[in-house]
Amino acid sequence: MMYSLIIIVMSLIMLVMAFMAIHHKNLQVAVIASGIISLFASVIYIFLAAPDVAITEASIGSALTVVIFFYVLNKIRQSDDTK
Amino acid sequence: MIRNSILILLIAGMAWILFQEFSAYHGADKLNSISEYYAKNAPTETGAANLVTAIVVTYRGFDTLGEVTILFLTAAIIGFMISTGKKTDRKPEQSNSELLETASNVLLPILILVGVYIFINGHLTPGGGFLGGAVLASAIILWLMSATGPKISHALLEVTEAFSGFGFVILGVLGIVLAGGFLDNKILHLGTFGTLLSAGAIPVIYSLIGLKVGAELSKIIIVLNQTQGEEK
Amino acid sequence: MKYFNIEYISMATGLFLFLVGLWGIISQKNIIKIIISFSVLDTSIHLILVSIGYIRNKTAPIIDGVVSKTDAATKIVDPLPQALVLTAIVIGVGVTALMLTYALRMYSENKTLEINKYKSLKW
């Protein structure tokens, strides 16, 4: 029962973050919102008895992907500046 | 306007299909037959305590080989697409903060050690090759950000990548020759259940997968890092 | 109330995230936004797969002090979807990096991120 309430709260946060990731004007905020979705998903995997998937998602989905996005965004911003 | 209404219709149709799926779904209360076979026989057949590892490395090892191939092709295509002009590791004009440099000197060896620990213990604890490789790649990110210490040796990275991929396939073929089939882990002795040197060839294969994943992800990150300093 | 169990809640979340990601892919014009929507869709599919494999009141598929070798079949959740998701996550990051590289290349060719302004594929 307690677990269900925790998961409902996290699901609502994930849905809000998903709308923010798609409709926010600022690309950096959108990328961070998609990273937060992965982070909360990894907490839900712990409740679903999948520790392997949870730690892999936490390190790859919410850290490495965001870093790769930021490398590309930084490159695009640099090209904007010199134009 | 008409485009938007078509899109909304499409999403509504998809939502209806997904709702049908959801209302037909009822939570299982026991394992299905394939998973029951794995649960009953995997510990004695493979000797691995972590059943997910047993499935990833032996029963569905061919999937893992395909996955490693996809990752290799991805890294190769990214390197090919971004090969423009001179290649320089980024040297920041202003020196980094002292905090970052000191912390990276302390943290780098520990991070690499944690990555190696994770993929060597993949058959006993959660984690395994994919996570270990990701931890190695994040150590590489820290190295590139702080820009202290020696330069990253690209030759070493390529040798690691080639050696681990080749070793993975060789171990698989050895399974055909010495044991039951491709990627069979009984080419080495199974050992005592639950100790580090057990489960036959699983620790070796998973370490090779971890090195391979770590090398490919590091290659993607290094290539993207090289684009940052280029003049436009 | 059976829909209050955690596998139903997480599966419903996954389905909603799937719809949001699909909406993002087909409605957005910015190519980086499309890739972000793809990554949301990716996460949602992992969530759905893992919640299919969950079985109530059972524990993680690792043999240790709680689960012994002989009674593993009655005490663990389904390990097969977890193994599939484990490989899918790593492939997902590779594919995302590849798409971002193509986006970077398109940007350096056309100097814009809006896909409506790309002329090279129109005739």
Contact B44 C5 (CB under 8 A): no
Nearest residue in chain B measured CA to CA from C7: B27
Q: Which positions ≥6 away from A45 have C-beta within 8 Å?
A: A51, A53, A54, A57, C50
* Largest CA-CA distance found in chain B, in angstroms, rounded: 68
Among C1, C6, C4, which residue's Cα sits nearest to residue C77? C6
B131 CA to chain A: closest CA distance, Å?
5
C58: left (phi over 0), alpha (psi -120 to 50) or beta: beta
| Nearest-Cα residue of chain B relative to residue C56 | B29
Chains that touch A (3 or more CB pairs under 8 A): B, C
What pLDDT band is residue B232 in, cutting at 50, 70 and 90?
A: very low
Asked whether B39 and C76 are in contact (CB, 8 A), the reply is: yes
Residues on chain B touching A78 (C-beta within 8 angstroms): 228, 232
Q: How many domains does one find in chain A?
A: 1
Burial class of residue A43 in the structure, from the number of CB atoms within 10 Å of its CB (0-12 exposed, 13-18 middle, 19+ buried) = middle
Does C110 contact A at CB distance below 8 Å?
no
Contact C17 A64 (CB under 8 A): no
CB contact under 8 A, C22 and B36: no
- Say what the pLDDT of residue C37 is: 92
| pLDDT bracket for residue B90 (50, 70, 90) | low
Identity of the amino acid at B95: S
Query: What's the confidence (pLDDT) of residue C44?
Result: 92
Distance of CA B210 to the CA centre of its chain: 6
- The string of pLDDT tens digits covering residues C49-88 is 888 888 888 888 888 777 777 777 778 888 888 888 988 8
For residue range B141-172, list pLDDT tens digits in order. Answer: 888 887 666 677 778 888 888 888 888 888 88
Q: Is B50 helix (H, G, I), strand (E, B) or coil?
A: strand
Nearest by CB to residue C43, choosing from A7, A8, A38, is A38
pLDDT digits (tens, 9 = 90+) for C21-39: 999 888 888 888 999 999 9
- Reported as a single tens digit per residue, the pLDDT across B5-58 is 888 898 899 889 988 888 888 877 777 888 888 888 877 777 778 888 888 888
Nearest CA in chain C to A75: C104
C interface test, pick of B16, B74, B206, B221 with most C CB neighbours within 10 Å: B74
Three-class secondary structure assignment of C16-53: HHHHHHHHHHHHCCEHHHHHHHHHHHHHHHHHHHHHHH
| Partner residues linked to C76 by β-bridges | C59
Classify residue B4 by its DSSP letter.
H
Q: Structural domain of residue A53, as residue ranges? A: 2-82
- The conformation of residue C64, written as its DSSP 8-state character, comes to S
Q: How far apart are CA C68 and CA B104, in angstroms?
A: 42
CA distances from B16 to A19, A43, B22, B26, C22 (A): 20, 28, 10, 18, 14
User: Which of A55, A67, A68 is the closest to B131 by Cβ?
Assistant: A55
Q: What is the structure's pLDDT at C35?
A: 92
Q: What is the sign, positive or negative, of the torsion defined by CA atoms of B101, B105, B109, B114?
A: negative
Our CA angle for B21, C45, B205, nearest 5°, is 130
Q: Of C67, C89, C90, which to mutate for an interface test with A (greatest number of A Cβ within 10 Å)?
A: C89
What is the pLDDT averaged over residues B74-96?
A: 68
Taking the C-alpha atoms of residue B201 and residue B184, their distance in angstroms, rounded to an integer, is: 8
Tokens in use for C56?
A: 């109530």
Distances (CA, A) of B143 to B112, B156, B158, B215: 11, 15, 18, 14
A14: chain C residues, CB-CB within 8 Å = 13, 17
pLDDT recorded at residue B229:
64
- Do A3 and C17 count as a contact with CB atoms less than 8 A apart? no
* C48 and A45 Cβ atoms separated by less than 8 Å: no
pLDDT tens across B204-229, in order?
888 888 888 888 888 888 888 877 76
Distance, in Å, from the CA atom of C96 to the CA atom of C49, rounded to the nearest integer, reads 20
Is the model's pLDDT at B88 over the cut of 60? no
CATH 1.10.287.3510 corresponds to the domain C2-117: yes
Residue B100 one-letter amino acid: L
Q: Is C45 on the interface with A (CB under 8 A)?
A: no
Find out whether C101 and B141 touch, Cβ atoms under 8 Å: no
The list of chain A residues with pLDDT below 50 reads: none
HSE (side-chain half, CA atoms, 13 Å) at C107: 22
> Which residue do the tokens 């699983």 mark?
B202
Tokens 């998961």 belong to residue: A7
Angstrom distance (rounded) from CA C90 to CA C14: 19
Q: What does the domain layout of chain C look like in residue ranges?
A: 2-117
